[in-house]
Amino acid sequence: MDFRMGILREFGGSKSMKRSRIFLGSLCLCLTFALGCGGGEGGTNTTTDTGSADTGTSNDTGTVEDQGTSTDTGTGVDTNPPPQDTGPAEGEACLTQTDNTIIESGQLQTILDGCAASCTADEACLSTCLNTGGFTPACSDCIGAFYACSVNNCEVCEGGIDGTLCLGCLHEQGCAASLESCGGLIIPDPPDIGGGVNHEGFTEVPCPADLHLIDELEPNDASDLSNPITVPDGANGFCIRGGLLCGSDGGNSYANDLDFFDFTSPVTANAEFQLDWAESGDWDFTVVSNDEELITFVDGMGTSEVGSTGLVTGSTYAIRLGCWAGTDGAYAMWVRWGDTTEPPVCTPDCEGKECGDDGCDGVCGTCDEGQLCGMDGLCSVGDPGPP
């Protein structure tokens, strides 16, 4: 079995055509409007009396005589004209009446289905296609960018965006924030972002109780991304709780679901790494630093994989996870470092010596043939004296 973690970096940009329906079935259900929309209504016409003259003369009978005539020209003057359409406000590109009508009518699914089939994740192509389908240019840009972001970063959304892991990924990758800040459309938060893996039905694999816990927020990482782990002061390690889809001796499932984590070591010490999972399978992890593979994967079926390496304070280490073959499920990837008390640095002492112990398990030199090293660290011929 070839080493998968490295070569699959090249697979990050290769996406299945199935992704063309990333949110077609559920986008209309999941998007909510941040603001209401709708244009102003026309005003009520009033008439102007252009010829009414009052003589101001009052008869003793108590009646007022108006000798003028009232003429209605028939020309209405709208004193409350509707507001002019100056385009959507910043951050509200999709809150126009035009875009609202398309979304509420359910046409978004049909339009985007066709656009995704012809454009896949090409953002410019998607925008042009959406605009041709009736969306305003600004809203087309927003939805096109959101769709491309989803395809390129969240493989877990292939079945629709209303799943917990998918929603978590859309927020983690910034796709949701981009759509809201651009179009005014909101992708809901997942029920419990960062709440572990139980939302997908996986049985959680326990972490050692003494380690700092980290929940995997991004279940299907693109290979060019990294998820930095922050290790709190005083921690003796950490444990990542996550979940993976398994391949069948590799394949697309494996390539599309790899987890990547980076951490900077707070200590100089030896560290133990261990990956645990529930059911027998060929799960793998590697640890890399400065392009050097410090721990490689172990081929074969099992329920855990272990390795160890030295850590150096301030150095960054990359952990790569995948399931080559087995059953989809949860994992616990943990790292524990040992005694962080660094041994004192030994400085050899050979001043005035030609030979003998340097005080650091080494020697200051060796004597020529026929000479012996004396207690004073000098070479001489004859009896060197008592040992």
Average pLDDT over residues 91-98: 88
Q: What percent of the chain has pLDDT over 90?
A: 21
Lowest-pLDDT range of 8-22, 104-118, 150-164, 263-277: 8-22
Q: What does the pLDDT read at residue 87?
A: 60
DSSP 3-state percent helix, strand, coil across the chain (nearest 5): 25, 25, 50
Residue 100 lies in a domain: yes
**Token pair in block for residue 338:** 């040992």
Provide the strand spans (E) within the chain. Answer: 32-33, 185-186, 212-215, 228-229, 237-244, 259-264, 269-289, 292-295, 302-311, 316-325, 329-337, 372-373, 379-380
Question: Domain holding 269: CATH number?
Answer: 2.60.120.380
* 3-state SS class at 351: coil
CA separation for the pair 203, 200 (Å, rounded): 9
- The Cα–Cα gap between 361 and 348 comes to 9
Mean pLDDT on 104-125: 86
> What is the rounded average pLDDT of the residues 148-162?
73
Q: Measured between alpha carbons, how far is 82 from 167 in angstroms, rounded to an integer?
A: 40
> Which structural domain, as residue segments, surrounds residue 113?
4-37+87-186
Q: What pLDDT band is residue 225 in, cutting at 50, 70 and 90?
A: low
With beta carbons less than 8 A apart as the criterion, state whether 161 and 27 touch.
Answer: yes
CA–CA gap between residue 225 and residue 181 (Å, rounded):
23
What is the mean predicted confidence (pLDDT) over 355-367?
86
Q: Does residue 22 or residue 78 have the better pLDDT? A: 78
Lowest mean pLDDT among 252-261, 297-306, 337-346: 337-346
* pLDDT score for 295: 95
Question: One-letter amino acid identity for 37?
Answer: C
Instruction: Give the C-alpha separation, 150 to 180, whole Å.
Output: 14
Same domain, 268 and 238: yes
Is a pLDDT exceeding 80 seen at residue 166? no
Range of weakest confidence among 116-125, 270-279, 307-316: 116-125
- Residue 71 belongs to what H/E stretch? none
Pairing label, strands 212-215, 237-244: parallel
For range 223-238, the mean pLDDT = 78
Tell me the per-residue pLDDT of 231-241, one tens digit each, with 9 for 90 and over: 888 899 999 88
- 240/245 Cα distance (integer angstroms): 16
pLDDT exceeds cutoff 50 at 199 = no
238 domain residue, yes or no: yes
Q: Looking at residue 36, what is its pLDDT?
A: 29
- Give the mean model confidence (pLDDT) for residues 350-371: 87
**DSSP classification of residue 85:** -
Q: How far from 371 is each of 153, 353, 375, 377, 381, CA to CA, in Å?
A: 73, 14, 13, 12, 5
Q: What is the pLDDT of residue 197?
A: 42
Integer Cα distance of 387 and 367 in angstroms = 16
Q: How many CA atoms lie within 13 A of 192 on its CB side?
A: 7
- On average, the pLDDT of the chain sits at 72
91-100, 257-266, 338-347: segment of lowest average pLDDT: 338-347
pLDDT for 55-70, tens place per residue?
444 444 444 444 545 4
Name the token pair of 335. 């790292």
Number of domain units in the chain: 3
Average pLDDT over residues 110-137: 90
Same domain, 207 and 279: yes
11 versus 319: the higher-pLDDT residue is 319
pLDDT (average), residues 168-194 = 74
Beta-bridge partners for 275: 305, 333
- pLDDT tens-digit series, residues 307-332: 999 999 999 999 998 888 888 888 99
What pLDDT, on the 0 to 100 scale, is given for residue 10?
24
Residues 126 and 174 in one domain: yes
Q: Is residue 323 part of a domain?
A: yes
Judge whether 75 lies within some domain.
Answer: no
Judge whether 37 and 100 are in contact, CB under 8 Å. Answer: yes
Would 25 be classed as within a structural domain? Answer: yes
Alpha helices in 136-285 (DSSP H): 137-153, 164-172, 175-183, 251-256
231 in the same domain as 104: no
Provide the 3-class DSSP secondary structure of residue 386. coil
Of 106, 119, 181, 186, which Cα lies nearest the Cα of 147?
119
Are 146 and 182 in the same domain? yes
